[in-house]
Amino acid sequence: MRIAATLVALVSVALLAPGTEAHHSYAMYDGSLYRVFTGVIVRIVPNAAHFEMHFVPLNEQRDALVRDEKDQPMVWVAQMESAAQALKDGITRESFPQGTVFSMGIHPRRDGKPAGDRGDSGLFQCPKGSKPQPGKHCDSVEGNKAFGTGQLPKHTPAAPVPRS
């Protein structure tokens, strides 16, 4: 009986412990997929619950921004850990100013819209003024900087959309 009570208490503590501080479900993201981007920072949005990076992906040649059908830069939103955790990893507005080139994987939105969550992906910043070789990411650039732990995940091609 005492052991059971202790176990219940431990489980309760684990459940109540602050950590992720998530404020919404992640059901909208496809956790079975990773898309790996090298992109350029538009803005860091340090929301308390989920830090965000707004970025524009670079093309495969790494020499131009990906643009939408109106020829406007295609802005993606990456939701991340809490602002507190991001700051512990050194991810700030100052360390990621507009124009920073970085690489990261995200679980994309299930509907294909330009947003996703970081999951367990590593985050690598290219040295200022540099960019990866075509098809490569910042983790391949000499002098790159990692923020937090983890590696870039393997890019998972999206499943083909079934034709009706």
Partner 1 sequence: MQALRSTVGVTVLSLVFVAGSASAALAQLRPPEVRGLRGAPFPSMNPPPEVRSHGEGPQWDGRPPDGVQPLAVDLFTSKDFYKDRALWTDRRYWRCNAPRQIADMRSGGAGTATADPRIGAKPPGSARWGDCTMDWPRENIVSPYRFSSAKEHYQALMADAKSRGGPTRHTYDTMPRWDGAYGEYAPEGRRVWNYSRANQVPTMLSLLTPDYQTRFVRQIYHEGVNAAHQWSASYCWPEGFMRQWATGPKPTRVVVTPEVVVFMGTGSSNIWRIVNLNREFPLGSDVRQWYGDTIGFWDGDALITWTANIQGWNQHSSWEWSDSLETIEIMTPVRDASGKFLGLDWEAVLYDPEALAQPVRILWHRNFQGGWATAPRFAYAECTRPLYPIDGFATPVAPGEVIQYKVPDMLDRPWAKIWEENFEKDMDRPKEELDLGFK
Query: Which parts of this chain interact with partner 1 (CB under 8 A)?
Result: 40-43, 45-46, 54, 56, 58, 63-65, 73, 83-84, 87, 92-94, 98-99
C-alpha 73/C-alpha 75 separation (Å) is 6
Task: Give the chain's count of helices (H) and strands (E).
Answer: 2, 7
3-state secondary structure of 44: strand
Q: What sign has the CA pseudo-torsion 76, 118, 160, 64?
A: positive
Q: Which is nearer to partner 1, 6 or 59 (CB)?
A: 59
Cβ 44 to partner 1, closest distance in Å? 9
Cβ 87 to partner 1, closest distance in Å? 4
Q: Which is nearer to partner 1, 34 or 124 (CB)?
A: 124
Cβ 99 to partner 1, closest distance in Å? 5
